[in-house]
Structure 1
Amino acid sequence: MPFIHRERVRFGDLDAMRHLNNVVFLRYFETARIAYLRVLAPEHDPSHPEADTFGLIFAECHITYRSPVYFDEEVAVACEVGEVRRSAFRVDFTMRVDDRVAAEGYGWLVGFDYEAQTSARLPETLRDRLEQEAAQREAGQD
């Protein structure tokens, strides 16, 4: 089962056409991703940085908009781990309002060494956990 984060569309999230602003889709995806990582890898919670220099940087995002979202609708954002690499991993998103797909996409997170200012290998424990999540997702799709 994917991780699900819910948001209620606020009036201030709308654009001039009275539907959810494109930028807010990204904000909802970001909020869902952070909530997901807090559960999956609490030691990498961005609100509680570790004493060491390792962190995760959101390096890339792709969004495909499928349908408009309106004021006061409840949005459910599903997050799942996709591909896992040596120093990066992909988080896949699907945003729904009831049964309607509003948007889907993905983002890449990269391990980062803040002291050296360069990408860094994912810690083994984190990579193992991510690979396990990705394998469970694959098993569920069979």
Structure 2
Amino acid sequence: MNRSEIQRLFTTAPFVQHVGMRLLEAGEGWCESEIEIQAHHQQQDSFIHAGVQATMADHTAGSAAATLIRPGQYVLTVEFKINLLRPAQGQRLRCKAEVLKPGKTLSIVESSLFTDKLVSKATVTLAILEK
């Protein structure tokens, strides 16, 4: 899948647009994204909400997996686990997702989220489906 198709995954997903996530870069088996943190991304103690981190980890992982699929296929998350390693604070949240195990029917992707340091890690399993 080419970069313009990966970009489309970010610009046509309404919730991703609502959150303010944007594609930074992508290549074969990886993807990077970013969110500029606003007040609505925070929880009651001013940390970046776990839901924002989970959304970013999931969508960026799906985009990384999508770099390896054939035309006529798409990916869909079937499971993910996120570890929140420390309270996330900062002006930007960045995510780098890398495919650990590509497959014909399932791909396993790891997402790492950073502010000024690593704040969370997720493992995402994605089904590879035919349109």
Q: Which of 59, 64, 83 is equivalent to 2:78?
A: 59
What residue identity is the alignment partner of 1:55?
Y
Higher strand content, 1 or 2: 2
5+ unaligned residues in a row in structure 1: which ranges?
Answer: 45-49, 115-142
What's the counterpart of residue 6 of structure 1? Answer: 34
Cα RMSD of the aligned pairs, angstroms, is: 2.6
**SS of the counterpart of 1:32?**
helix
User: 1: distance between equivalents of 2:105 and 2:62?
Assistant: 18
* Identity score, percent: 9
**Is the 2:65–2:102 Cα contact (8 Å) retained in structure 1?**
no
- TM-score by length of structure 2 reads 0.65
Within a 5 Å distance, the mapping from 1:15-30 to structure 2 comes to 15-30=43-58
What residue identity is the alignment partner of 1:27?
T
What's the counterpart of residue 102 of structure 1? Answer: 119
- 1:82 counterpart = 2:110: no
**Distance change (3 Å), C-alpha of 1:69 and 1:79:** same
**Is the 2:97–2:110 Cα contact (8 Å) retained in structure 1?**
yes
Number of positions where the alignment pairs a residue of Structure 1 with one of Structure 2: 103
Looking at CA atoms only, which structure, 1 or 2, has the larger radius of gyration?
A: 1
Give the Å deviation of 1:17.
1.5
